[in-house]
C-alpha cells in the first residue's frame, strides 16, 4: 500500500491506455483517485468501473486541459472532497501527424496547448495546495519524441514533449526545497488500440522488431514506473526524465 490515504489527480485517465492503467495501479496501492478526462461519457463510465473494481469511490470530472477554468474547477473539487492533493499525474496529450512544411497553425496550437500548456496549467493549479502541505509528487508525461523524432510528421509533438522535459527540470529546481518532487516519464511506443488511428499501418510491427526486448511497451509498464516516482520509493529523485523503452532509447 505505497500510496495509502494519498490523493492523486490523473489527467486523461479515461482512455484505454496509460492514464487508466496508472489510475488502477494507484488504486491498488491505496490512493484516492480523482480521474479527469475530456470525454464526458468515458469519464463517468471509467470512474464507475474503477469504483466498483476497487470498492471505493473514484471521482470522475470532465476536464479539457485547454480550458484553464475546468482544470482549476477540478482541483477545487478534489480539495473539497478529499482535503488535499498529494500526487499529480499529468497525462493529457495529443498528436497529429503532419509534415513540418505542411503543419497548420491550428495543429501546432492544439498539440502545444494540450501537451505543454495543459501540463503547466495543471501543475500551477495543484501547487498551492502541495506547498501548503509541504509535500507532493508530480509526474509529467513526456515522450522519447522529445529527444528525437519518433516518426515523420511529429514536429509539434516532439517540440511540445521537449518542452515538458524542460518544464519538469525547471520546476524541480524551484520546488525541491519545499518538499515537492517533479519528474517525467519518456516512453517509446506504448501500445494501445487507439494509437492505430494516429500512426500508419506497419509502424507497430516495425517498432517491435527494432526493440532490443522484442516487444512493445504496455500501459502497465508505465504505470509501474509512475507508481515508483509518485511514492516514497523515489524520495531522493527529482528533476529526472526517465526513459522507458525496452532499451530502444538509451539516454546518456
Among residues 157, 191, 199, 236, the one annotated as catalytic is 157
State yes or no: is 157 an active-site residue.
yes
Cα angle 239, 245, 248 (rounded to 5 degrees) comes to 115
Are residues 60 and 81 in contact, defined by beta-carbon separation less than 8 angstroms? Answer: no
**DSSP letters of 54-76?**
HTS--EEEE--TT-HHHHHHHHH
Total Cβ atoms within 10 A of residue 132: 12
Are residues 203 and 147 in contact, defined by beta-carbon separation less than 8 angstroms? Answer: no
Q: Which residue in the block uniquely carries the three cell numbers 512544411?
A: 101
CA distance 133 to 180: 10
Catalytic residue ranges: 157
Amino acid at each position: 500500500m505505497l500510496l495509502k490515504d494519498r490523493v492523486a489527480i490523473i489527467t486523461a485517465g479515461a482512455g484505454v491506455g496509460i492514464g487508466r492503467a496508472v489510475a488502477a495501479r494507484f488504486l491498488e496501492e491505496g490512493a484516492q483517485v480523482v480521474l479527469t478526462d475530456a470525454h464526458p461519457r468515458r469519464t463517468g463510465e471509467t470512474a464507475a468501473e474503477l469504483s466498483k473494481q476497487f470498492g471505493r469511490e473514484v471521482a470522475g470530472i470532465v476536464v479539457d486541459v485547454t480550458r484553464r477554468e475546468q482544470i482549476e474547477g477540478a482541483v477545487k473539487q478534489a480539495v473539497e472532497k478529499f482535503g488535499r492533493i498529494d500526487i499529480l499525474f499529468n497525462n493529457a496529450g495529443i498528436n497529429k501527424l503532419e509534415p513540418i512544411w505542411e503543419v497548420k497553425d491550428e495543429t501546432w496550437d492544439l498539440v502545444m496547448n494540450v501537451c505543454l500548456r495543459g501540463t503547466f496549467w495543471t501543475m500551477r493549479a495543484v501547487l498551492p495546495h502541495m506547498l501548503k502541505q509541504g509535500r507532493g509528487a508530480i509526474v509529467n508525461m513526456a515522450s522519447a519524441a522529445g529527444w528525437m523524432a519518433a516518426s515523420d510528421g511529429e514536429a509539434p509533438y516532439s517540440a511540445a514533449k521537449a518542452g515538458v522535459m524542460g518544464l519538469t527540470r525547471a520546476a524541480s529546481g524551484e520546488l525541491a526545497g519545499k518538499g515537492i518532487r517533479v519528474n517525467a516519464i519518456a516512453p517509446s511506443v506504448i501500445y494501445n488500440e487507439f494509437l492505430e488511428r494516429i500512426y500508419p499501418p506497419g509502424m507497430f510491427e516495425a517498432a517491435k522488431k527494432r526493440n532490443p526486448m522484442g516487444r512493445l511497451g504496455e500501459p502497465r509498464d508505465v504505470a509501474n514506473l509512475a507508481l515508483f516516482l509518485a511514492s516514497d520509493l523515489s524520495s531522493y529523485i527529482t528533476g529526472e526524465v526517465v526513459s522507458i523503452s525496452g532499451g530502444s532509447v538509451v539516454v546518456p
